[in-house]
Chain A
C-alpha cells in the first residue's frame, strides 16, 4: 500500500467531536470542575485527617491517631448528640408545619398568592442575616419578642439561657426552612390524581381516613425527599450559631466544632478527621433515608 492510501490516525479533536464520544466530551468541563473543586479538596482533607498539621512545617503522618482521639473526645461526642437532637426536632417540626400549611393552602382562598409569597420570605433571606435578626429580636432586655410578651402581661423569657438556647436555634432554623416543606408538599398535593379522592368520597370515606390512607401514602416519596435533603443540610448547620451564640450556652453543634478546630485553632489534621467523620455520617444517614425513599417509591422492596 502506498503512503497516500494509509489509514490516517484521527486527531484528538476529531475523537472528541465524533458522534460516538461527543456526549462524553460535553461532560469534560463538569468533570474538571468536580476534580478541582470537589475531589481534590476531598482527598486532600482525607490525607490530612491522618496527619498532624497546624499549617506550619510539614504534615506528620500519624495514622489513625486523630480518629482514635475523636472517639474519646467528649466535647465532640456531645456536639454530635446535639446535632442529632436538632436534626430530629427540626425535621419533625418542619414536616408537621409544612404538611399542615400545605393542606390548608392547597385550597382556593382570597389572597392566596400574597400569603404564599410572604411565606417564601424566610427562605429568601441569607441564613446569617436571619439569625442576626432573631438574635436581636430575642434579646432578653430589649428584644422585640420580650417587649411584646411584657406588653401583653406575660413575663420575659430568656431565650438564650443554657437550657433553652438549643431549642431557640431549632426555632430559627424551622422558621427559615418550613416554607421549603410547604412548597414541596403543595406541589405534591396538586399533582395527586383527583379521581381516587372522588371515588373515596363516593364510598363515604371520612376526611381523616382519606388523608391517612390516600394523601399521606401518595405524598410519602416527597416527604422522604424533604427528610433526606433537610438531614443533609441540618448535619452541616452553622449559620444560626455564627449569628447568635457562637457555640456558647450549650449549643455547639458538629460543624461548629469542626470549624473551631480547623479554622480557629488551625489544627488542620484533627479538624480534617472531624470533617471526614461528618461526611461519612451524612452519607450513612442519607443512604439509609434514600433506601427508605426508594422503598416508598416502589423502586426497591
Chain B
C-alpha cells in the first residue's frame, strides 16, 4: 500500500511539474499570440548585415505568413544604421516602421518612438500586463538601457554586454601561478583592480623563445589585447570609468527621481583622466596594432594565442574567440569574468516602433516577435549572437557537456552580471541623455588621440568636456553644466 501511495505521489508530482512546465511554455509570447492585424500595410525596417539577420529572415517570413503583413528589410553595415535612421526619424518621413536602435540612442530618439506600453494597451489582448510579463524574461539591466525617462521604448534583439576574457588554461597552469606569485606576491586570478591588470599585462608580455606553460613561444606574446583604435576605444573607457563608480557626466535628479540636470563634476573629470592614464599605461603590454584595432583584431590576437587577456571585450565575441583559439592552441581554453570594477559596457541592438509609422499595429507585433523566445533562441542558436532573454540563456541546451564550453560559462557570466549591474544602469549618463549618440561618436575619436600621441591626456579630457557640453546643450533639453 505504501509503495502504491509513493508511486501515485510521484506520478502526481511529475504531472504537476509537467503542468507547470506547460503553463510556463504557454505564458511565453509567440507567433500564435499575435491577433489578427487589420492594417496590412507593408512594414519597412533597416538592420545590420551579418549572419544573425540572415538567420532571422525565415522567422520574419513566418511573421508575414501569420499576419499577412509584408516586411521589407533593408540591410546595411552597422556604422551606417544610425545616420540612415536618424535622418528619417528627424524628418518624420515614416519610412522606417520598425527602428533598429543601439540602446545609447534610445533617449535621443524617444521623441520619435512609441512607448511600447502605450502600444500594448492599444493593440495587445493581454494588455500592458501581458507585455510586461514577457519583457521580464529579458535581462533587467539591458531592459533599462532601452528605456527613456522610465518608459520602455525598445526591446533588445542581441547584446554585446562586455566581459573580461582570459586564457583560463594559462591562469590555471601551476608554473605560471607560482611564477606570478613569486614575482608579485599575490595569487594569479582574474584582475579586479587596475594594478592587478597592469601586473598581469606585464607578466604575460613575453618575447619569442621565452616559455609559456613551460614551453618556448614561437612568437611574441602580449599580456593584453585592447581596442584602442578610433572606433571602439570609448566602450573600453566606459567599462573603466563606470568601474570606478564614476561616469562621463553625473545625472542629477530631483526628490521625485525626475531628471534635473547633468553636471560634469570635478570627480568625473578626474576619473576620466585617471582612466585614460591607466589605459595608456597598459597599452604597453598590448600589440602596437591595438592602436588601430577594433574587436575583430583583438579577438584574433587572443584567438591566435598571441594575447592572454582581453580586459574588456564584447561578450558576443567570446564563442568566436574560443573557436579560433581551439584551432591555434590545442589546449587553449577561455574564461569570462567581469571587467575591472564589475560594471562592463552594456547595451543591445534593439527594436522599437517609429511614431511616424503608417502601421504601428503590425510594427508593435513584429517588435514583440523579434524579442520573443522563439526568435531569441534563433538569434543565439542559429545566428551566433547573444540573446538578452534569460529564459533562452537558462535553456538546458547551453549547459550540456557539449555546449558547456564556451556557451554555458558565457550564459552563467551574463546571468550573474546582469542583476548585479542593473542597479547602476539607470544612472549611466548615456542612457539618460538625448545627446548620447552624438557624444558617443565624438568620444571614439577624442579618447583615441592621447593613445596615438596626437594629444595629451589633459587636452583630450578638455576636448571631450567641451564637445560634451556643446553637443548636449544643442541636442538635449536637460541642462548641462561643468563644475568649476
Which listed residue, A55, A141, A260, touches B289 by the CB 8 Å rule? A141
**Interface pick from A39-47, A155-163, A219-227:** A155-163
Can you add 17 more A-B contacts, CB < 8 Å, to A158-B289, A266-B438?
Answer: A55-B87, A56-B474, A56-B475, A135-B292, A140-B288, A141-B219, A141-B220, A141-B287, A142-B306, A160-B292, A162-B291, A244-B292, A247-B445, A249-B230, A249-B291, A265-B441, A266-B475
B301 touches A245 (CB 8 A): no
Check: B90 CB closer than 8 A to any chain A CB. Answer: yes
Give the chain B neighbours of A139 by CB distance below 8 A. 289, 297
Check: A236 CB closer than 8 A to any chain B CB. Answer: no
Interchain residue pairs with CB less than 8 A apart (28): A55-B87, A56-B475, A140-B287, A141-B289, A142-B304, A158-B288, A158-B289, A160-B289, A161-B291, A162-B291, A162-B453, A245-B229, A245-B292, A246-B229, A246-B230, A246-B231, A247-B230, A248-B230, A248-B291, A249-B291, A249-B448, A250-B453, A252-B445, A260-B441, A264-B442, A265-B438, A266-B475, A267-B474
Check: B217 CB closer than 8 A to any chain A CB. Answer: no
Which listed residue, A142, A245, A248, A266, touches B86 by the CB 8 Å rule? A266
B297 touches A55 (CB 8 A): no
Distance of A80 from chain B, by nearest CB (Å): 16
B86 touches A250 (CB 8 A): no
Distance of B218 from chain A, by nearest CB (Å): 11
A248 touches B452 (CB 8 A): yes
**Total chain A interface residues with beta-carbon distance under 8 A:** 27
Q: Using known A-B contacts A264-B441, A264-B442, determine if residue A250 contacts B289 with beta carbons closer than 8 Å.
A: no
B304 touches A141 (CB 8 A): yes
Distance of A149 from chain B, by nearest CB (Å): 14
Give the chain A neighbours of B453 by CB distance below 8 A. 162, 250
B86 touches A162 (CB 8 A): no
Distance of B230 from chain A, by nearest CB (Å): 3
Check: A188 CB closer than 8 A to any chain B CB. Answer: no
B306 touches A249 (CB 8 A): no
A162 touches B230 (CB 8 A): no
B230 touches A245 (CB 8 A): yes
Q: Which secondary structure dominates where chain B touches chain A?
A: helix
B288 touches A248 (CB 8 A): no
Check: B454 CB closer than 8 A to any chain A CB. Answer: yes
Interface residues of B in 439-469 (CB under 8 A from A): 441-442, 444-445, 448, 452-454, 467
Return the chain B residue nearest A128 by Cβ: B77
Assembled-state Cα–Cα distance A139/B304 (Å) = 14
Q: How large is the interface on B (under 10, 10 to 19, 20 to 34, 35 or more residues)?
A: 20 to 34
Q: List B residues at the A interface (Cβ < 8 Å).
A: 83, 86-87, 90, 219-220, 229-231, 287-289, 291-292, 297, 300-301, 304, 306, 438, 441-442, 444-445, 448, 452-454, 467, 471, 474-475
A162 touches B441 (CB 8 A): no
The 7 A-B pairs of least Cβ separation, nearest first, read A248-B230, A140-B289, A160-B292, A264-B441, A249-B452, A158-B288, A162-B452
Return the chain B residue nearest A266 by Cβ: B438
Distance of B152 from chain A, by nearest CB (Å): 24
Return the chain B residue nearest A245 by Cβ: B292
Give the chain A neighbours of B220 by CB distance below 8 A. 141
Distance of B209 from chain A, by nearest CB (Å): 14
Distance of A283 from chain B, by nearest CB (Å): 27
A56 touches B445 (CB 8 A): no
Assembled-state Cα–Cα distance A249/B452 (Å) = 5
A162 touches B454 (CB 8 A): yes
Assembled-state Cα–Cα distance A141/B296 (Å) = 13
Which of B291, B300, B304 counts the most chain A CB atoms within 10 A? B291
B291 touches A160 (CB 8 A): yes
B90 touches A249 (CB 8 A): no
Distance of A268 from chain B, by nearest CB (Å): 10
Return the chain B residue nearest A140 by Cβ: B289
B306 touches A141 (CB 8 A): yes
Bitwise interface map of A from 51 to 74 toward B, beta carbon under 8 Å scored 1, else 0: 000111000000000000000000
Bitwise interface map of A from 103 to 137 toward B, beta carbon under 8 Å scored 1, else 0: 00000000000000000000000000000000100
Give the chain B neighbours of A266 by CB distance below 8 A. 86, 438, 475
Return the chain A residue nearest B442 by Cβ: A265
Distance of B377 from chain A, by nearest CB (Å): 32
Assembled-state Cα–Cα distance A174/B230 (Å) = 24
Give the chain B neighbours of A161 by CB distance below 8 A. 288, 291
A56 touches B90 (CB 8 A): yes
Give the chain A neighbours of B87 by CB distance below 8 A. 55
Assembled-state Cα–Cα distance A56/B230 (Å) = 27
Give the chain A neighbours of B445 by CB distance below 8 A. 247-248, 252, 260
B452 touches A250 (CB 8 A): yes
Assembled-state Cα–Cα distance A139/B287 (Å) = 10
Check: A263 CB closer than 8 A to any chain B CB. Answer: yes
Interface residues of A in 62-111 (CB under 8 A from B): none
Give the chain A neighbours of B300 by CB distance below 8 A. 141-142
Which listed residue, A54, A141, A165, touches B475 by the CB 8 Å rule? A54
Interface residues of A in 253-276 (CB under 8 A from B): 260, 263-267
Interface residues of A in 202-252 (CB under 8 A from B): 244-250, 252
Interface residues of A in 150-178 (CB under 8 A from B): 158, 160-162, 165
Distance of B358 from chain A, by nearest CB (Å): 22
Assembled-state Cα–Cα distance A250/B287 (Å) = 18
Return the chain B residue nearest A248 by Cβ: B230
Which listed residue, A55, A162, A252, touches B90 by the CB 8 Å rule? A55
Assembled-state Cα–Cα distance A55/B475 (Å) = 9
Q: Using known A-B contacts A54-B474, A248-B229, determine if residue A263 contacts B287 with beta carbons closer than 8 Å.
A: no
Give the chain B neighbours of A162 by CB distance below 8 A. 291, 452-454
Return the chain A residue nearest B91 by Cβ: A55
Return the chain B residue nearest A135 by Cβ: B292
Distance of B206 from chain A, by nearest CB (Å): 14
